[in-house]
Amino acid sequence: MNRMIAGLMLVIAMLGLSGCGYNTLQSSDEQIKASWAEVLNQYQRRADLVPNLVNVVKGFAQQEKDILLGVTNARARVGSIQATPELVNDPAAFRKFQAAQGELSSALSRLLVVTENYPQLKSDQNFRDLQAQLEGTENRTTVARQRYIKAVQEFNVTVRSFPSNLTAMMFGFKEKAQFTVENEKEISKPPVVDFGGATPAPAKSAIPPSPPGEYSK
Protein backbone atom coordinates (compact mmCIF):
# COMPACT_ATOMS: atom_id res chain seq x y z
CA MET A 1 0.00 0.00 0.00
CA ASN A 2 2.82 2.36 0.93
CA ARG A 3 4.55 1.58 -2.36
CA MET A 4 1.38 2.41 -4.27
CA ILE A 5 1.06 5.74 -2.49
CA ALA A 6 4.72 6.52 -3.13
CA GLY A 7 4.25 5.67 -6.80
CA LEU A 8 1.23 7.93 -7.09
CA MET A 9 3.11 10.75 -5.41
CA LEU A 10 5.98 10.29 -7.82
CA VAL A 11 3.64 10.46 -10.82
CA ILE A 12 1.97 13.58 -9.44
CA ALA A 13 5.36 15.18 -8.85
CA MET A 14 6.48 14.37 -12.39
CA LEU A 15 3.29 15.83 -13.84
CA GLY A 16 3.80 18.91 -11.72
CA LEU A 17 7.33 19.35 -12.96
CA SER A 18 6.17 19.02 -16.55
CA GLY A 19 3.54 21.70 -16.01
CA CYS A 20 6.10 24.01 -14.38
CA GLY A 21 8.52 23.91 -17.32
CA TYR A 22 10.95 21.20 -16.22
CA ASN A 23 10.72 19.27 -19.47
CA THR A 24 11.00 22.49 -21.47
CA LEU A 25 14.11 23.48 -19.55
CA GLN A 26 15.68 20.08 -20.14
CA SER A 27 14.96 20.00 -23.87
CA SER A 28 16.05 23.62 -24.31
CA ASP A 29 19.28 22.93 -22.47
CA GLU A 30 20.03 20.00 -24.79
CA GLN A 31 19.30 22.20 -27.81
CA ILE A 32 21.77 24.78 -26.54
CA LYS A 33 24.45 22.12 -26.11
CA ALA A 34 23.94 20.90 -29.67
CA SER A 35 23.92 24.43 -31.10
CA TRP A 36 27.02 25.43 -29.17
CA ALA A 37 28.87 22.31 -30.31
CA GLU A 38 28.21 23.31 -33.92
CA VAL A 39 29.45 26.86 -33.26
CA LEU A 40 32.68 25.45 -31.85
CA ASN A 41 33.00 23.07 -34.77
CA GLN A 42 32.82 25.89 -37.31
CA TYR A 43 35.22 28.10 -35.36
CA GLN A 44 37.67 25.19 -35.29
CA ARG A 45 37.33 24.75 -39.05
CA ARG A 46 38.29 28.40 -39.47
CA ALA A 47 41.26 28.09 -37.12
CA ASP A 48 42.48 25.05 -39.06
CA LEU A 49 42.51 27.08 -42.29
CA VAL A 50 44.65 29.88 -40.87
CA PRO A 51 48.14 28.26 -41.02
CA ASN A 52 47.78 27.32 -44.68
CA LEU A 53 46.37 30.76 -45.53
CA VAL A 54 49.26 32.51 -43.78
CA ASN A 55 51.83 30.31 -45.54
CA VAL A 56 50.35 30.97 -48.97
CA VAL A 57 50.22 34.71 -48.42
CA LYS A 58 53.77 34.68 -47.02
CA GLY A 59 54.99 33.17 -50.27
CA PHE A 60 53.86 36.25 -52.19
CA ALA A 61 53.94 39.00 -49.56
CA GLN A 62 56.73 38.34 -47.10
CA GLN A 63 57.02 42.06 -46.40
CA GLU A 64 53.59 42.00 -44.75
CA LYS A 65 55.11 40.36 -41.69
CA ASP A 66 53.20 42.49 -39.20
CA ILE A 67 49.83 41.52 -40.69
CA LEU A 68 50.84 37.86 -40.90
CA LEU A 69 52.12 37.88 -37.33
CA GLY A 70 48.87 39.46 -36.18
CA VAL A 71 46.85 36.63 -37.70
CA THR A 72 49.15 33.99 -36.24
CA ASN A 73 49.02 35.53 -32.76
CA ALA A 74 45.24 35.93 -32.90
CA ARG A 75 44.87 32.26 -33.81
CA ALA A 76 47.18 31.30 -30.93
CA ARG A 77 45.00 33.24 -28.48
CA VAL A 78 41.92 31.47 -29.77
CA GLY A 79 43.64 28.13 -29.29
CA SER A 80 44.68 29.00 -25.74
CA ILE A 81 41.05 29.14 -24.61
CA GLN A 82 39.53 25.80 -23.66
CA ALA A 83 36.21 25.87 -25.48
CA THR A 84 33.99 23.39 -23.66
CA PRO A 85 30.21 22.94 -23.42
CA GLU A 86 30.39 24.47 -19.93
CA LEU A 87 31.67 27.75 -21.39
CA VAL A 88 28.10 28.94 -21.93
CA ASN A 89 27.55 28.78 -18.16
CA ASP A 90 30.43 31.16 -17.42
CA PRO A 91 29.71 34.69 -18.73
CA ALA A 92 33.25 35.94 -18.08
CA ALA A 93 34.87 33.00 -19.90
CA PHE A 94 32.32 33.32 -22.69
CA ARG A 95 33.21 37.00 -23.20
CA LYS A 96 36.90 36.11 -23.29
CA PHE A 97 36.23 33.46 -25.91
CA GLN A 98 34.10 35.86 -27.93
CA ALA A 99 36.77 38.58 -27.79
CA ALA A 100 39.44 36.16 -29.01
CA GLN A 101 37.29 35.05 -31.94
CA GLY A 102 36.55 38.68 -32.78
CA GLU A 103 40.26 39.47 -32.75
CA LEU A 104 40.93 36.63 -35.19
CA SER A 105 38.11 37.84 -37.43
CA SER A 106 39.61 41.35 -37.50
CA ALA A 107 43.10 40.00 -38.20
CA LEU A 108 41.82 37.90 -41.10
CA SER A 109 39.92 40.88 -42.47
CA ARG A 110 43.08 43.00 -42.45
CA LEU A 111 45.02 40.21 -44.13
CA LEU A 112 42.48 39.89 -46.93
CA VAL A 113 42.49 43.65 -47.50
CA VAL A 114 46.27 43.54 -47.91
CA THR A 115 46.04 40.75 -50.49
CA GLU A 116 44.30 43.21 -52.84
CA ASN A 117 47.75 44.71 -53.46
CA TYR A 118 49.15 41.43 -54.81
CA PRO A 119 47.57 40.36 -58.13
CA GLN A 120 49.77 37.28 -58.40
CA LEU A 121 48.62 36.11 -54.99
CA LYS A 122 44.97 36.69 -55.86
CA SER A 123 45.37 34.58 -58.98
CA ASP A 124 47.10 31.72 -57.15
CA GLN A 125 44.86 28.63 -57.11
CA ASN A 126 45.79 27.61 -53.58
CA PHE A 127 44.91 31.05 -52.30
CA ARG A 128 41.61 31.07 -54.17
CA ASP A 129 40.74 27.63 -52.76
CA LEU A 130 41.50 28.77 -49.23
CA GLN A 131 39.39 31.89 -49.72
CA ALA A 132 36.48 29.77 -50.88
CA GLN A 133 36.84 27.45 -47.87
CA LEU A 134 37.05 30.42 -45.52
CA GLU A 135 33.96 31.99 -47.03
CA GLY A 136 32.03 28.72 -46.64
CA THR A 137 33.17 28.40 -43.04
CA GLU A 138 32.15 31.98 -42.24
CA ASN A 139 28.69 31.35 -43.69
CA ARG A 140 28.26 28.13 -41.69
CA THR A 141 29.49 29.89 -38.56
CA THR A 142 26.87 32.61 -39.01
CA VAL A 143 24.10 30.00 -39.31
CA ALA A 144 25.40 28.06 -36.30
CA ARG A 145 25.60 31.19 -34.17
CA GLN A 146 22.10 32.27 -35.11
CA ARG A 147 20.75 28.86 -34.08
CA TYR A 148 22.61 29.11 -30.79
CA ILE A 149 21.25 32.62 -30.21
CA LYS A 150 17.68 31.47 -30.80
CA ALA A 151 18.11 28.45 -28.51
CA VAL A 152 19.54 30.60 -25.71
CA GLN A 153 16.81 33.21 -26.07
CA GLU A 154 14.11 30.57 -25.67
CA PHE A 155 15.88 28.97 -22.71
CA ASN A 156 16.51 32.26 -20.92
CA VAL A 157 12.89 33.32 -21.33
CA THR A 158 11.79 30.05 -19.72
CA VAL A 159 14.26 30.53 -16.86
CA ARG A 160 12.86 34.01 -16.17
CA SER A 161 9.15 33.28 -16.67
CA PHE A 162 6.71 32.24 -13.95
CA PRO A 163 6.15 29.49 -12.89
CA SER A 164 9.05 27.87 -14.74
CA ASN A 165 11.46 30.23 -12.97
CA LEU A 166 10.63 28.43 -9.71
CA THR A 167 11.50 25.10 -11.31
CA ALA A 168 14.71 26.60 -12.70
CA MET A 169 15.70 27.79 -9.22
CA MET A 170 14.87 24.42 -7.72
CA PHE A 171 17.03 22.47 -10.16
CA GLY A 172 19.82 25.02 -10.67
CA PHE A 173 19.00 26.13 -14.22
CA LYS A 174 20.53 29.56 -14.86
CA GLU A 175 20.55 31.89 -17.85
CA LYS A 176 23.11 31.02 -20.53
CA ALA A 177 25.73 33.38 -21.90
CA GLN A 178 24.76 35.14 -25.11
CA PHE A 179 26.59 36.93 -27.92
CA THR A 180 26.52 40.71 -27.60
CA VAL A 181 24.34 42.97 -29.72
CA GLU A 182 27.39 44.67 -31.25
CA ASN A 183 28.71 41.25 -32.18
CA GLU A 184 25.50 40.31 -33.94
CA LYS A 185 25.60 43.46 -36.07
CA GLU A 186 28.86 42.16 -37.48
CA ILE A 187 27.76 38.60 -38.20
CA SER A 188 24.74 39.92 -40.09
CA LYS A 189 27.16 41.22 -42.73
CA PRO A 190 28.02 38.66 -45.44
CA PRO A 191 31.74 37.87 -45.76
CA VAL A 192 33.41 39.55 -48.72
CA VAL A 193 35.59 37.38 -50.92
CA ASP A 194 37.19 38.74 -54.09
CA PHE A 195 38.27 36.05 -56.54
CA GLY A 196 40.13 38.48 -58.76
CA GLY A 197 37.31 39.48 -61.08
CA ALA A 198 36.52 43.03 -61.99
CA THR A 199 34.37 44.84 -59.51
CA PRO A 200 31.61 46.92 -61.07
CA ALA A 201 31.41 50.55 -60.05
CA PRO A 202 28.74 51.12 -57.40
CA ALA A 203 25.61 52.87 -58.50
CA LYS A 204 25.10 56.39 -57.20
CA SER A 205 22.60 56.64 -54.42
CA ALA A 206 21.35 59.22 -51.98
CA ILE A 207 21.75 56.63 -49.25
CA PRO A 208 25.32 56.33 -47.94
CA PRO A 209 26.79 52.88 -48.62
CA SER A 210 27.17 50.45 -45.72
CA PRO A 211 30.71 49.75 -44.50
CA PRO A 212 32.34 46.72 -46.12
CA GLY A 213 31.65 43.35 -44.56
CA GLU A 214 34.17 41.94 -42.13
CA TYR A 215 35.23 38.32 -41.85
CA SER A 216 33.32 37.90 -38.69
CA LYS A 217 31.94 36.05 -36.16
Tens of pLDDT, residue by residue over 105-129, are 999 999 999 999 999 999 999 999 9
Average predicted confidence (pLDDT) for the chain? 80
Rounded to the nearest 10 degrees, what angle do helices 164-171 and 22-60 cross at?
Answer: 70
pLDDT at 3: 58
- Specify the pLDDT at position 58: 92
The pLDDT confidence band at residue 202, using thresholds 50, 70 and 90, is: very low
Residue 198 lies in a domain: no
- Look at 11-15, 16-20, 103-107 and tell me which has the smallest mean pLDDT: 11-15
Q: Is 129 among the domain residues? A: yes
| Structural domain for 97, as ranges | 15-187
Residue 195 in domain: no
Is 9 within a domain?
A: no
**Does some domain include residue 212?**
no
The answer to whether residue 20 scores a pLDDT higher than 70 is yes
> What does residue 53 show for φ and ψ, rounded to 5 degrees?
-65, -45
Residue-level pLDDT at 44: 94
- Is the residue at 34 inside a domain? yes
Is the pLDDT confidence value at 23 over 80? yes
Higher-pLDDT residue of 100 and 216 is: 100
CATH number at residue 148: 1.20.1440.20
In a domain, 217, yes or no: no
Question: What digits encode the pLDDT tens for the residues 142-178?
Answer: 999 999 999 999 999 999 998 888 988 988 999 999 8
pLDDT at 182 over 60: no
**Which is more confidently placed, 185 or 204?**
185
* pLDDT on residue 19: 58
Predicted confidence (pLDDT) at residue 180 exceeds the cutoff of 90: no
pLDDT at res. 79: 93
Q: What is the pLDDT of residue 21?
A: 84
DSSP string, the chain: -HHHHHHHHHHHHHHHHHHTTHHHHHHHHHHHHHHHHHHHHHHHHHHHHHHHHHHHHHHH-TT-HHHHHHHHHHHHHHHTS---GGGGG-HHHHHHHHHHHHHHHHHHHHHHHHGGG-HHHHH-HHHHHHHHHHHHHHHHHHHHHHHHHHHHHHHHHHHHSTTHHHHHHHHT--PPP---HHHHHHHTSPPP---SPPPPPPPP-SSPPPPPP-S--
Tell me, what's the pLDDT at 52? 95
Total structural domains within the chain: 1
pLDDT at 76 over 90: yes
The confidence score (pLDDT) of residue 163 equals 87
207 occurs within a structural domain: no
What is the arithmetic mean of pLDDT over 185-199? 42
